[in-house]
């Protein structure tokens, strides 16, 4: 597994503490319900409007003797008093009247249990130590997570920009991270701070009034309602009031406010001593509220969601890690004996899967192939073929395991001629698509004795299909036969179904293209844009075709016959009534949009097939235009009827054929460029651009679209792609 230092720390911390974090989150979820429940159940009074003087008066009117008043975090006022029946009791009162409103119920058993587990794991001091450590580790995990998030988003300014969706768990991990990392940092830090008090590292100050008894006057005697301090203090600011034990002048009121404590002469109301709340104690109070959500419904709810999100982080984190760990480098031969060296530049391991698969296939063919990380590159005399698979990160930067490659390559000189091929793995969602692969290729270009075997090939979103196109070219040049790389969507694992050939057109000699229409023998749900993996027989591997669905629910395939193409030759040999075995692969990212102001289709050659199906089914008559590139008009013969009928019934608004080998001598991208303002308008008006056909056309069209976006001051092309306004299926 290849991993950067931050990612490694994040993972190591999470793995080492996950059981404790899991326990703390589960109990945290339960405990977060307590303030929520209290908030719902309690009739609260507006304590700001009631003075301590009124409260004391009310109480003294209602009870024989009052010992203490307490105001809790939910603004409930409770007292301990001698009632008129002479009973000593504790209960909640209405501060406006002094009357009893409710009993003080003991805390529910569930909360008691969850709290003990949350605080000490029922292990007393040892448990408290582990809990404190867990809090601290959670803080470090969140901090490293925050740094990874900022690196991923490429800076603080881009915190709120779109998160690029790679897969569900990765996206969820990052998305929830953006929402909950800060609350989790607050929870963990406040937890650590509260723990310091549990271990007596910090202590709560105790207010002991320093009063000289002889200085306490019993006169002039005032009514409580005339005590300045009680009149100036609202009950909202009170934490507790201890009443004087007896009527001896040496006993006084002890008033504890949220910001200080006072000793008050019971006869005169004079302040005998006072103490301001220390910063440490204030910090404790804030930490307590932040950690428990006491008295704040909204914050308690955020705490609840944060704890739930921690559970998701644990689960998705493990999912991501196991996926990455799945591929390991295992070399059968010593490096110095190998003729083929596959270098990998990968951050999260997916590129490595391609490399290891490729190595295994080369080994099966008797080649001595070695897989190595790009940073470890060194030259040996046996080396003949250098194949580099690399991802791109950051702003077109190398992955961590390739960041020293440039420096290493500079020091290396190839003693004998070698041939190299570079494959770039990247994503169109990023502005610098596969940039590091381009850099790598140009570095090799400059090296003596290094000859380019196959020009740079770029792969968007780990597309197995695109990789197979590269593989086919590489195999042809090196005169080998490779099976298909199936990647995550393994068509061999999909159920094979039977399809009957209902139509097959003659091949157009100059273009070597033909149409095949297949009818599923068993009914199935199909959509234009899906892929059909056709199996030419047991011994051969499947070949994927983009399909269109006709109005009769048949599958339309447009095929180019390749000279040594096993599958295209097989399909060309079919006759009406023959049965074909194939499996369907969903390709949801290339469906005709359900809602779009307009659709612009761009295709070359046989790439038109899914579009023909989409047009037939465009019953809403969404405004659709199609640019289609081919060598000459003859290539259109097979599609002409379908295009004409789509135009007639307004399922296609305009068809723009572009021919490269006629007087016109144009490619689709040239024609698109002539209409650049119209293209800009499509993007601006929320329209969708769909591209299907050759990878070369795709790259040229993407370069043009990027330019159009820049010139018209539109958003980044990747923004449109993220919003589903740019859909592609190219090969
Ligand atoms: C944070 C981040 C930044 C990325 N930056 C780029 C980029 O600048 N250009 C690009 O083409 N792809 C970029 N990608 C996409 C990756 O290169 C692509 O997903 C690749 O297949 C990942 O390969 P790996 O799993 O082997 O690391 C980025 C991906 C992530 C998560």
Say if residue 1's pLDDT is above 60: no
User: pLDDT digit string (tens) for 55-70?
Assistant: 999 999 999 999 999 9
Mean pLDDT on 425-441: 88
User: pLDDT digit string (tens) for 585-643?
Assistant: 888 878 999 999 999 999 999 999 999 999 999 999 999 999 999 999 999 999 999 99
User: pLDDT digit string (tens) for 311-370?
Assistant: 999 999 999 888 776 678 999 999 999 999 999 999 888 999 999 999 999 999 999 999
Say if residue 584's pLDDT is above 90: no
User: What does the alpha-carbon distance between residue 52 and residue 237 come to, in Å, rounded to a whole number?
Assistant: 9
Ligand 1 atom at minimal distance to the Cα of residue 458: 11
Ligand 1 atom at minimal distance to the Cα of residue 351: 26
Sheet holding 450-460, edge to edge: 369-373, 340-345, 385-391, 418-426, 450-460
Residues 12 and 136 in one domain: yes
Alpha carbon of 281 to ligand 1 centroid (Å)? 48
Residues 694 and 604 in one domain: yes
Alpha carbon of 458 to ligand 1 centroid (Å)? 12
Residue nearest to atom 27 of ligand 1 (CA): 347
Say if residue 310's pLDDT is above 70: yes
Residues 362 and 311 in one domain: no
Q: Assess if residue 392 is contained within a domain.
A: yes
Residue 162 pLDDT level (bands cut at 50, 70, 90): confident
Ligand 1 atom at minimal distance to the Cα of residue 434: 11
Say if residue 393's pLDDT is above 70: yes
Ligand 1 atom at minimal distance to the Cα of residue 396: 8
Alpha carbon of 541 to ligand 1 centroid (Å)? 29
Q: Assess if residue 437 is contained within a domain.
A: yes
Ligand 1 atom at minimal distance to the Cα of residue 399: 27
Who lines ligand 1 at CB under 6 A?
A: 152, 166, 346-351, 391-394, 396, 399, 425-427, 430, 432-435, 462
Question: Residue 383 belongs to a domain with what CATH number?
Answer: 3.40.50.360
Residues 24 and 117 in one domain: yes
Residues 611 and 582 in one domain: no
Alpha carbon of 427 to ligand 1 centroid (Å)? 6
Mean pLDDT on 26-54: 89
Ligand 1 atom at minimal distance to the Cα of residue 350: 25
Residue nearest to atom 22 of ligand 1 (CA): 391
Question: Residue 707 belongs to a domain with what CATH number?
Answer: 3.40.50.80
Please give the C-alpha separations between residue 477 and each of 421, 453, 481, in angstroms, as whole numbers: 11, 8, 10
User: What does the alpha-carbon distance between residue 559 and residue 515 come to, in Å, rounded to a whole number?
Assistant: 6
Note the ipTM here: 0.98
* H-run or E-run covering 456: strand 450-460
Ligand 1 atom at minimal distance to the Cα of residue 153: 1
Alpha carbon of 332 to ligand 1 centroid (Å)? 29
Measured over the CA atoms of residue 181, residue 144, residue 313 and residue 351, the dihedral's sign is positive
CA 454-455-461 angle, 5° bins: 105
Q: Assess if residue 720 is contained within a domain.
A: yes
Alpha carbon of 393 to ligand 1 centroid (Å)? 5
Say if residue 42's pLDDT is above 80: no
* Residue after which a domain boundary falls, among 245, 277, 309: 277
Say if residue 45's pLDDT is above 90: no
Q: Assess if residue 101 is contained within a domain.
A: no
Ligand 1 atom at minimal distance to the Cα of residue 424: 11
Helix axis angle for 609-616 and 637-648, nearest 10°, is 30
Pocket test for ligand 1, best of 147, 321, 347, 374 (most atoms within 8 A of CB): 347
Say if residue 563's pLDDT is above 90: no
Alpha carbon of 426 to ligand 1 centroid (Å)? 5
Mean pLDDT on 390-401: 88
Q: Assess if residue 482 is contained within a domain.
A: no
Q: Assess if residue 102 is contained within a domain.
A: no
Residues 340 and 463 in one domain: yes
Find out whether 93 and 100 touch, Cβ atoms under 8 Å.
yes
Q: Which pairs with CB-CB distance under 8 Å and at least 24 residues apart come from 671-677? A: 671/627, 672/602, 672/627, 672/701, 672/704, 673/704, 676/704, 676/708, 676/711, 676/712, 677/712
Residues 426 and 357 in one domain: yes
User: pLDDT digit string (tens) for 89-126?
Assistant: 999 999 999 999 999 988 899 999 999 999 999 998 99
Q: Assess if residue 485 is contained within a domain.
A: no
Residue nearest to atom 6 of ligand 1 (CA): 393
φ, ψ (nearest 5 deg) of residue 458 = -110, 145
Mean pLDDT on 226-252: 94
Ligand 1 atom at minimal distance to the Cα of residue 152: 1
Considering only residues 1 and 510, tell me which one the structure prediction assigns the higher pLDDT. Answer: 510
User: pLDDT digit string (tens) for 637-665?
Assistant: 999 999 999 999 999 999 999 999 988 89
Ligand 1 atom at minimal distance to the Cα of residue 433: 11
> What percentage of the chain exceeds 90 in pLDDT?
72
Q: Which residues, including other chains, have CB under 8 Å from residue 72's CB and lie 6 or more apart?
A: 78, 295
* Tokens encoding 257: 């406010």
Say if residue 296's pLDDT is above 80: yes
pTM, entire model = 0.66
Residue 540 pLDDT level (bands cut at 50, 70, 90): low
* Tokens encoding 515: 């149409």
Q: Which residues, including other chains, have CB under 8 Å from residue 361's CB and lie 6 or more apart?
A: 482, 483
Pocket test for ligand 1, best of 427, 436, 460 (most atoms within 8 A of CB): 427
| pLDDT score at 493 | 58
How many domains are there within the chain?
Answer: 5
> Under DSSP, is residue 308 helix (H, G, I), strand (E, B) or coil?
helix
Residue nearest to atom 30 of ligand 1 (CA): 393
Alpha carbon of 509 to ligand 1 centroid (Å)? 42
Alpha carbon of 469 to ligand 1 centroid (Å)? 20
Residues 440 and 542 in one domain: no
Structure-token match 């644990």, residue found: 314
Pocket test for ligand 1, best of 425, 470, 487, 716 (most atoms within 8 A of CB): 425
CA 605-490-319 angle, 5° bins: 125
User: What does the alpha-carbon distance between residue 90 and residue 372 come to, in Å, rounded to a whole number?
Assistant: 74
User: What does the alpha-carbon distance between residue 104 and residue 90 come to, in Å, rounded to a whole number?
Assistant: 7
Residues 142 and 156 in one domain: yes
Ligand 1 atom at minimal distance to the Cα of residue 391: 17
Mean pLDDT on 67-90: 94
Alpha carbon of 706 to ligand 1 centroid (Å)? 19
Q: Which residues of 408-437 are buried (b: 16+ CB within 10 A; e: fewer)?
A: ebeeeebeeebbbbbbbbbbbbbeebbbbb
| pLDDT score at 579 | 94
Please give the C-alpha separations between residue 216 and each of 211, 245, 250, 265, 540, in angstroms, as whole numbers: 8, 15, 7, 7, 104
Strands in 346-408 per DSSP E: 369-373, 385-391
Find out whether 713 and 684 touch, Cβ atoms under 8 Å.
no
Q: Assess if residue 104 is contained within a domain.
A: no
User: What does the alpha-carbon distance between residue 22 and residue 117 come to, in Å, rounded to a whole number?
Assistant: 12
* Residue after which a domain boundary falls, among 562, 589, 616: 589
DSSP assignment, residue 234? B
Say if residue 489's pLDDT is above 60: no
Residues 378 and 524 in one domain: no
Question: Residue 508 belongs to a domain with what CATH number?
Answer: 2.40.30.10
Alpha carbon of 247 to ligand 1 centroid (Å)? 78
Average pLDDT, the chain: 91
Alpha carbon of 263 to ligand 1 centroid (Å)? 66
Say if residue 18's pLDDT is above 80: yes
Find out whether 27 and 114 touch, Cβ atoms under 8 Å.
yes
Residues 250 and 385 in one domain: no
Find out whether 638 and 510 touch, Cβ atoms under 8 Å.
no
Residue nearest to atom 1 of ligand 1 (CA): 152
Sheet holding 543-546, edge to edge: 543-546, 531-534, 579-585, 497-504, 513-520, 555-560, 548-549
User: What does the alpha-carbon distance between residue 388 and residue 402 come to, in Å, rounded to a whole number?
Assistant: 11
| pLDDT score at 2 | 45
Alpha carbon of 152 to ligand 1 centroid (Å)? 10
* Residue after which a domain boundary falls, among 551, 568, 589: 589
Domain coverage including residue 639: 592-730
> Under DSSP, is residue 123 helix (H, G, I), strand (E, B) or coil?
coil
Residues 154 and 296 in one domain: yes
The 3-class secondary structure across 168-213, one letter per residue, is HHHHHHHHHHHHHHHHHHHHHHHHHHHHHHHCCCCCCCCCCCCCCH
Instruction: Count CA atoms within 13 Å of residue 157 on its CB side.
Output: 0
| pLDDT score at 116 | 94
Peptide bond into 220 cis (omega under 30): yes
* Residue 716: exposure state from Cβ atoms within 10 A (0-12, 13-18, ≥19): middle
């Amino acid at each position: 597994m290849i991993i950067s230092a931050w990612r490694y720390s994040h993972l190591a911390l999470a793995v080492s503490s996950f059981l404790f974090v899991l326990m703390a989150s589960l109990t945290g979820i339960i405990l977060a319900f307590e303030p929520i429940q209290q908030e719902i159940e309690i009739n609260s009074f507006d304590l700001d409007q009631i003075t301590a003087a009124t409260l004391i008066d009310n109480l003294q009117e209602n009870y024989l003797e009052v010992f203490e008043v307490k105001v809790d975090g939910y603004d409930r006022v409770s007292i301990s008093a001698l009632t008129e029946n002479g009973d000593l009791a504790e209960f909640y009162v209405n501060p406006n009247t002094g009357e009893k409103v409710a009993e003080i119920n003991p805390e529910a058993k569930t909360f008691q249990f969850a709290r003990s587990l949350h605080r000490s794991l029922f292990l007393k001091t040892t448990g408290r130590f582990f809990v404190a450590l867990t809090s601290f580790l959670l803080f470090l995990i969140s901090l490293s997570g925050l740094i990874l998030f900022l690196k991923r988003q490429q800076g603080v300014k881009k915190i709120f920009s779109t998160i690029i969706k790679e897969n569900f768990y990765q996206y969820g991990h990052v998305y929830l991270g953006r929402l909950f990392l800060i609350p989790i940092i607050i929870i963990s830090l406040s937890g650590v701070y509260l723990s310091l008090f549990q271990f007596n590292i910090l202590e709560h100050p105790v207010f002991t009034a320093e009063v000289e008894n002889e200085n306490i006057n019993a006169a002039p005697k005032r009514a409580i309602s005339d005590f300045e301090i009680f009149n100036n203090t609202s009950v909202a600011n009170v934490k507790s009031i201890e009443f004087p034990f007896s009527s001896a002048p040496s006993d006084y009121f002890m008033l504890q406010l949220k910001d200080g404590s006072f000793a008050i002469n019971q006869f005169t109301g004079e302040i005998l001593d006072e103490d301001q709340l220390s910063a440490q104690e204030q910090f404790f109070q804030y930490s307590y509220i932040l950690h428990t959500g006491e008295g704040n419904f909204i914050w308690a709810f955020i705490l609840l969601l944060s704890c739930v999100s921690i559970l998701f982080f644990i689960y998705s984190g493990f999912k991501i890690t196991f996926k990455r760990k799945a591929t390991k480098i295992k070399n059968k031969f010593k490096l110095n004996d190998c003729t083929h060296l596959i270098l990998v530049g990968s951050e999260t391991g997916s590129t490595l899967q391609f490399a290891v698969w490729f190595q295994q296939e080369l080994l099966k063919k008797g080649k001595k192939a070695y897989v190595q990380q790009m940073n470890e590159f060194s030259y040996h005399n046996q080396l003949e073929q250098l194949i580099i698979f690399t991802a791109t990160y950051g702003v077109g930067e190398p992955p961590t395991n390739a960041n020293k490659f440039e420096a290493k390559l500079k020091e290396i000189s190839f003693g004998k001629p070698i041939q190299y091929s570079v494959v770039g793995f990247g994503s169109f969602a990023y502005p610098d698509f596969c940039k590091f692969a381009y850099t790598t290729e140009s570095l090799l270009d400059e090296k003596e004795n290094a000859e380019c075997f196959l020009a740079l090939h770029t792969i968007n979103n780990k597309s197995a299909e695109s990789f197979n196109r590269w593989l086919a070219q590489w195999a042809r040049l090196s005169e080998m036969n490779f099976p298909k790389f199936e990647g995550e969507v393994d068509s061999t694992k999909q159920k094979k179904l039977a399809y009957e050939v209902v139509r097959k057109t003659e091949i157009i000699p100059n273009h070597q293209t033909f149409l095949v229409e297949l009818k599923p023998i068993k009914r199935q749900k199909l959509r234009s844009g899906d892929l059909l993996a056709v199996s030419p027989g047991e011994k051969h591997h499947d070949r994927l075709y983009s399909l269109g669905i006709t109005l009769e629910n048949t599958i339309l395939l447009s095929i180019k016959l390749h000279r040594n193409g096993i599958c295209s030759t097989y399909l060309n040999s079919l006759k009406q009534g023959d049965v074909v075995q194939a499996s369907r692969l969903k390709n949801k990212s290339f469906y005709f949009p359900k809602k779009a102001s307009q659709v612009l289709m761009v295709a070359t050659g046989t790439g038109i097939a899914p579009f023909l199906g989409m047009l037939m089914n465009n019953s809403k008559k969404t405004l659709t235009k199609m640019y289609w590139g081919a060598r000459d008009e003859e290539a259109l013969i097979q599609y002409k009827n379908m295009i004409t009928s789509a135009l007639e019934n307004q399922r296609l608004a305009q068809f723009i054929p572009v021919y490269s080998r006629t007087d016109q001598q144009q490619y689709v991208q040239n024609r698109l460029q002539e209409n650049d303002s119209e293209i800009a308008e499509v993007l601006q008006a929320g329209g969708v651009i769909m591209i299907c056909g050759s990878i070369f056309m795709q790259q040229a069209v993407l370069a043009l679209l990027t330019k159009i976006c820049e010139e018209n001051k539109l958003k980044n092309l990747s923004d449109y792609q993220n919003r589903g306004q740019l859909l592609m299926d190219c090969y």
